[in-house]
Amino acid sequence: MEAQGLDLATVLFIDPETEGVCPTVPTMTMAAQDSSARWRTFLTEAKEDDILLILSKQSEPYLDIPFHELQAFDPEFADDVLQYPRQILDRGSQTLVEICRDRGEDIDAMLRVGELPRDSRRNLRDIGTADIERLRSVEVIITKISDLKPRLHVAVFTCEACGNTIEVGQKNERELVEPLRCPSDSGCGGSRNSKDNPTRFNLVINVSRMVNNQWIEIQELPESVPSGAQPTRGSVLVEGDQVNRHLPGERIVANVMPVVRSEVKRNRKTPMFDVIYHLVSSEHESTPFNEIKISDEDKEKILEISRREDLMGLMQNSIAPSVFATGVMHYVKRSLALQLFGGVSRIQQDRTRTRGDIHILLMGDPGVAKSQVLNYMSKISPRGKLASGGGVSGAGLTAAAVRDAFGDGRFALEAGVLPLSDRGLAAIDEFDKISEDDRKVMHPAMEQQQINVAKGGITATLPSRCAILAAANPKDGRFSKRGPNQSVMHSYSETGLPPPLASRFDIIWMLRDEVKVQDDERIARYILDNRTKGVSETKIEEAISLDPAEEAKDDIYSFTVDDTEHLSLEFLRKYIAYAKRNHDPDLNADARAKILDYYTNERQSFGREDQMGAEVIPITARALEALIRLTEAHARMHLRDTATGDDAKVALAVFRHWREESNIEDDSELYSGVSATARSNNTTIRNIVRDICSTGDGTASITEIYNAASARKIPETMVDDVIQRMLTSGELFNPSGDRYGFAR
């Protein structure tokens, strides 16, 4: 061995019982044999209170041991746990059971070691032969879960010839291991394959020890996936108290022991092996955005930047700096900056929840950089996801029930874009291309921020606490020319989206590709300068040139081609993560008063009629909640725990601007798609027809209707639409030519 450059302590062999790659027997055996005494010393000295709690049966029969406690007690033994977890942890559980029995309680207790050191942390895609049968931790997202199944942990067999009982530990979840021979000391010595002394072994289920078992599928974090690569997935075996503690979409740190199982093709084993993971323990991410590492130096710089007077402008410039802002794009970027920080989600005493995430819809002609903005927002937001409407289904957005997920033929849940974006941002491009049936799942996901799944025999509720940024295009390629007083809902109807969905968005922007000589020249110059500043992708791939993104990775500030200052992408992500992790602002009296004044003043027009006779509802409680979220977002951006009147002023300015830009007549138009004027015209035209019919022969000519409607400034096209609907519904009939009458 030494001649071949191999150290005996590092030679691996295949355990025939478990098919697992294990360290060499001498080293492993010494560590395992010595472990029982070490466990007894540690448990009786350091975990006496926890053992008493288990003995009193006031807690589950599982003992959680943070790794740092074990390391502080016996560093050498702690290292052995990382190297030989299977044998040492099994001995630890046996020792705990023996301690309980010595004290008069027969409890099937188990040990769980968690909070592993950082040097044992691995990326899921990097786990290989050096990690097999070692204790490792991986930071992952759960994508699927299976149903719970019982599995044999210790199987008890009886010999048919002599009735002797034999216990066999079942360490391989894919295969039932049966005894080959009855022990000689039983006086039988029978064997299944013996011709002279044959016997059979029968499994005794009611005496055998079983354990709850569940499979989960894990996937590496999106921010850990190299550019152009697919996320690595793995199957994890969960047992005992760990079952039914995980949901698709959750982020966890899984402390696992990778093992290998031989691939089987055509009923024959191959030299290739599958890696599966046995879960030892898991830690749910209790700290939001824990994956964003912020140093003390970063924290000082974040606090310094938060005190800048031009912070709002700096954040606005930092949103998609490669997109030149003209006209309404300035205000779009300002609202997107507030969306990244978001409001505060709150839970009331009656268990109702109010969302804090801000939803924004961008409608626009092709070529106004909607997709570019969405792509940037999904990258800059911690836990951001990007999906395109042309290639996503309802199940892809929410959750899918997938059959045969773990080779057992049952259904299992697979989380979609919204659950995987939990506590982040979901950017959905081509929102109008999602089919009508699939689009319906967005309603509860946007308002209640949870997805209720009832499919394939599975009933579950998945969290989707994410802000949604959607972009929609017109069905006919470009939006029709909008009149000076025309509502944005007219353009919204051209996308084909249902009107109730519009009310779920806090802000709706309309981006038009308008011909303006000054703006066109500035945009063209900016694009040309920006494009020539970039580095050839081929040179970066061939390592001829450095990736500019990597060069600027540690920078705090960056500059556009026109020397506009903005925060770098990496630092802005840290700033957002720090703000959302540490600050949950409450509204003070001044902020409440300003929002209340605006709301009550707008509501005073309720019940009054405009000049067309339409009853107008200018603002609803849903708009009030949007104002609160914008106010909290502005305060959080400035790292304040209290939202002041100044924050409310900015929120009101953003809200007023998009409402004025949109020309929305009243809030009910957002829910029904029908403006107050249209509702009034329907009633007016119906009354005109009725009045004309009551004075003559019971019918009205189209000319008479046109003349009466024209006197009330109702266009002929509106008259034609209303009459056509009345004919279709059977309210009117057409006895001859251009005459109409009410059906009796």
| b/e code 485-518 from CB counts within 10 Å (16+ = b) | eebbbbbbbbbebebebbbbbbbbbbbeeeeeee
Place of tokens 């106010």: 631
Q: Which of 54-68, 486-500, 628-642 has the highest mean pLDDT?
A: 628-642
Residues paired with residue 254 on neighbouring β-strands, in sequence order: 138, 282
> What CATH number belongs to 296-582?
3.40.50.300
Residue 642 confidence (pLDDT) = 92
Q: What is the pLDDT of residues 81-102, one digit of tens each?
A: 888 888 888 888 888 888 888 8
> What CATH number belongs to 2-115?
3.30.1640.10
Residue 410 confidence (pLDDT) = 64
Residue 619 confidence (pLDDT) = 66
d(CA 386, CA 615): 41
Find the range with the poorest average confidence among 10-14, 59-63, 243-247, 471-475. Answer: 10-14
Q: What is the mean pLDDT of residues 380-397?
A: 74
Q: What angle do CA 441, 245, 399 make, to 5 degrees?
A: 20
pLDDT exceeds cutoff 70 at 407:
no
Residue 630 confidence (pLDDT) = 92
pLDDT higher at 267 or 38: 38
% pLDDT > 70, the chain? 83
Q: What is the mean pLDDT of residues 113-124?
A: 87
pLDDT exceeds cutoff 80 at 320:
yes
Residue 27 confidence (pLDDT) = 47
d(CA 653, CA 482): 24
Q: Which of 271-275, 656-660, 718-722 has the highest mean pLDDT?
A: 271-275
d(CA 716, CA 738): 14
Residue 405 confidence (pLDDT) = 53
Residue 18 confidence (pLDDT) = 43
Residue 587 confidence (pLDDT) = 92
Query: What is the number of helices (H) and of strands (E) in the chain?
Result: 26, 30
Residue 32 confidence (pLDDT) = 57
> What CATH number belongs to 676-742?
1.10.10.10
Instruction: Give me the helices (H) in 406-543, please.
Output: 417-420, 436-439, 442-447, 488-493, 499-502, 517-533, 537-541
Q: Which helix (H) or strand (E) holds 113?
A: strand 110-114
Q: What is the mean pLDDT of residues 268-279?
A: 85
Residue 550 confidence (pLDDT) = 66
Residue 625 confidence (pLDDT) = 87
**Where in the chain are the domains?**
2-115, 137-284, 296-582, 676-742
Find the range with the poorest average confidence among 58-62, 231-235, 724-728. Answer: 58-62
Q: What is the mean pLDDT of residues 382-397?
A: 73
pLDDT higher at 42 or 23: 42
Q: What is the pLDDT of residues 126-135, one digit of tens each?
A: 888 888 989 9
Which residues have CB under 8 Å from 99's CB, separation 6+?
A: 40, 43, 44, 51
Tokens encoding 268: 């024959």
pLDDT exceeds cutoff 70 at 2:
no
Supply the angle between the helices 48-55 and 85-102 in degrees, to the nearest 10: 60
Fold adopted by 137-284? OB fold (Dihydrolipoamide Acetyltransferase, E2P) (2.40.50)
pLDDT higher at 37 or 662: 37
Residue 588 confidence (pLDDT) = 92
pLDDT exceeds cutoff 60 at 67:
yes
pTM for this prediction = 0.67
Residue 643 confidence (pLDDT) = 92
CB 279 within 8 A of CB 255: yes
Kindly report the average pLDDT of the chain as a whole number: 78
Strand 209-220 relative to strand 233-239: parallel, antiparallel, unpaired?
antiparallel
pLDDT exceeds cutoff 80 at 311:
yes
d(CA 328, CA 320): 15
Q: 3-class SS at 608?
A: coil
Which residues have CB under 8 Å from 410's CB, separation 6+?
A: 146, 147, 403, 404
Q: What is the mean pLDDT of residues 629-638?
A: 92
pLDDT higher at 658 or 290: 658
Residue 611 confidence (pLDDT) = 41
pLDDT exceeds cutoff 60 at 605:
no
pLDDT exceeds cutoff 50 at 539:
yes
CB 320 within 8 A of CB 376: yes
Residue 74 confidence (pLDDT) = 84
Under the banding of pLDDT at 50, 70 and 90, the label for residue 664 is: low
Residue 644 confidence (pLDDT) = 92
Under the banding of pLDDT at 50, 70 and 90, the label for residue 524 is: confident
d(CA 605, CA 620): 12
CB 663 within 8 A of CB 669: no
